Amino acid sequence: AVAHELLHHHDLMVVTNNINVANILAANPDCRVVVAGGQLRRSDGGLVGTLTRQAISQFKVDLAVIGCSALDEEGDILDFDIQEVSVSQTIIRQSRRVFLVADQSKFSRTAPARIGSLAEIDTLYTDQPLSENLTQRCRDWGVRIVVAGA
C-alpha cells in the first residue's frame, strides 16, 4: 500500500529490500529505485541476509518505512524472521526518521524476535486506535500515532 502511494511523487530515491516494492515503483519515472540484494524470501518478495544489511548500510536515508509481524503491550516491535529483524534494525540505524506501519491484526499476536521498541520510532501508522497503555507509552516516548481514516 505504501509503495502505491509513492507512484505520483517526484524526485524520490527509494532503497528497498523487497522486489515487489521495486516492481511497483518501476512505474514511476521520477523515482530512482535501489534494490538491496540478498536472499529471496519467496513468501513476500523480501530480500534478507548479510548482503541486504551491507547494501542498506551504505545509505543514510531521510525516512524509513518498516513493518512488523507483531506489536506487544510493552511497545516491542516483533517479527518471526530473524533475518528480517536484522535488516529492519539496520534500516532503523541508517534512517533520520522511522515510520512503522502496523494494522490492528499486529496488536493481537506475538512473535519471537525483537526488532526494537516503539521508542525508536517517530510515527506509527495504523488502522485502529491503540490500547490506552500503548497510547500512553507512545506519548511518553514522543511517538506520533496516526490512525488511518480518523
What's residue 1's pLDDT?
80
Q: Is 72 helix (H, G, I), strand (E, B) or coil?
A: coil
**Which residue has 481514516 as its cell numbers?**
149
Contact 100, 77 (CB under 8 A): yes
Contact 150, 135 (CB under 8 A): no
What's residue 18's pLDDT?
98
What's residue 82's pLDDT?
96
**Domain definitions of the chain by residue range:** 1-59, 66-84+98-150
Could you tell me which of 144, 148, 80 has the C-alpha nearest to residue 110?
A: 80
Dihedral of CA atoms 48, 50, 55, 60 in degrees, nearest 10, equals 90
Identify the segments of the chain with pLDDT beneath 70: 150
What's residue 149's pLDDT?
82
Q: pTM of the entire structure?
A: 0.94
